[in-house]
Copies of this chain bind each other. A is one copy, B any other.
Amino acid sequence: MELDTVASLGEFGIIARITKGLPAAPAVSVGPGDDAAVFLVNGSSVSSVDVLVEGVHFRRDWVPAEMLGRRAVAVAAADIEAMGAYQAAVLVGLTVPADIPVAWIDDLAKGIRLECEAAGAVLVGGDLTRGRDVVISVTVMGETRGTVPVLRSGAQPGDVVAFRGRLGWSAGGLAVLSRGFRSPRALVEAYQLPQVPYGAGAEARLAGATAMIDVSDGLIADLGHIADSSQVCLDLDSARFDVPVPLHAVAAATGTDPLRFMLTGGEDHALAATFPLGKVPLDWQVIGVVSDAEPGVLVDGQPYDETPGWDHFRH
């Protein structure tokens, strides 16, 4: 059996496969197929780009193409959530080796479409090019619909710190895969595909969130951005973290404190925010308080004893 590759179908053949059957959307007056996409923005535009690189953010043998497509959109869409804004449109810049099977691209495109749908955004355009490694660049454009975005800089002493979504699951899954295992399955799947709590960003804004961020690099690292921008101290209470069952197993197997996964593991794209006392939505988990102590992030009143978070050029 001869396998179709992107080289045999060509750039325009592939683009036609990806864009075929895309749903129409009332706000989109020009979708894929012209020089640029045109869509109506309600309020201000809220936009962010995230790039996933093979060998850095993922290995093709660890993440099925459909999951990867979903993840690429989820990672960028999480930034729109973190502003408390509404999802609108997605552009994808895709670089692939010429010998990649068309079936892989089809699966990736399916994942991109599915996650756009889950997020409430429309795929409006993209660019396809060749390269040595798979590189997926996703731009998500949202809209404020006349509301005021939640920035990193609004946290106030007296606020509480809370999160919604998952913490440490993806890092746990990576620890599993790195050791050559495929279970606990729930963690591996969490690594392959973050569960962004779509809609929770707007929910937090409506409830009165004073600052918000999505946890991409690790909770302590990302709350550090809120601490810096707001010039406040965020003191987390370790007793308030419920360690998920599958994390206990991996922590035991790797000799790690399970809390470490939750405090420093990135890529789950939970939302973390500060709220005035008494304003936290029901489905958010309160994990700490904001004070006027020296700006930074503490755990049980102490600095956490390991360089947290992820710097792409230092690992």
Q: A55-B131, A312-B128 are in contact. Are A83 and B45 (CB under 8 A)?
A: no
Interface string of A9-34 (1 = CB under 8 A from B): 11110100000000000000110011
- In the complex the two chains form, is A35's CB within 8 Å of B83's CB? yes
Interface string of A59-92 (1 = CB under 8 A from B): 0000000000000000000011011010001011
Cα distance A109–B89 in the bound complex, in angstroms: 27
Residue on B nearest A128 in the bound complex, by CB: B312
B53 touches A129 (CB 8 A): yes
Q: Are A213 and B35 in contact (CB under 8 A)?
A: yes
A41 within 8 A of B: yes
CB-based nearest B residue for A124: B47
Q: Which of B14, B45, B46, B51 meets A127, CB within 8 Å?
A: B51
B311-A53 in contact (CB<8A): no
Count, chain A residues at interface, CB 8 A: 72
User: Most chain-B CB neighbours within 10 Å: which of A56, A127, A313?
Assistant: A313
Check if A116 is an interface residue, CB within 8 A of chain B: no
Contact A137 B10 (CB under 8 A): no
Question: Across the interface, do B135 and A95 meet the contact criterion of CB distance under 8 Å?
Answer: yes
**Which residue of the partner chain, among B34, B36, B82, B313, contacts A130 with CB atoms under 8 Å?**
B313
CB-CB under 8 A from A314, the residues of chain B are 7, 10-11
Are the CB atoms of B93 and A93 closer together than 8 Å? yes
Greatest chain B CB density within 10 A among A82, A128, A312 is at: A312
Complexed CA–CA distance, A186 and B148 (Å): 49
- Take A35-B82, A82-B36, A93-B93 as given contacts and tell me if A50 and B149 are in contact as well, using a CB distance cutoff of 8 Å: no
- CA A141 to CA B47, docked complex, whole Å: 9
Could you write out 28 A-B pairs with CB less than 8 Å apart? A6-B313, A7-B313, A11-B313, A30-B149, A34-B152, A34-B153, A35-B48, A35-B212, A36-B48, A36-B80, A36-B140, A38-B149, A41-B44, A45-B89, A47-B124, A49-B125, A49-B126, A53-B129, A53-B131, A56-B129, A93-B137, A98-B313, A130-B313, A132-B132, A135-B135, A137-B137, A139-B139, A141-B141
For the complex with contacts A36-B140, A49-B137, 13 further pairs of A-B residues with Cβ separation under 8 Å are A29-B44, A35-B82, A36-B142, A45-B45, A47-B89, A50-B93, A51-B137, A55-B132, A56-B129, A93-B93, A131-B133, A131-B135, A135-B135
Residues in chain A within 8 A of chain B (CB atoms) = 6-7, 9-12, 14, 29-30, 33-41, 44-51, 53-57, 79-80, 82-83, 85, 89, 91-95, 98, 124-133, 135, 137, 139-142, 144, 149, 151-153, 212-214, 229, 311-314
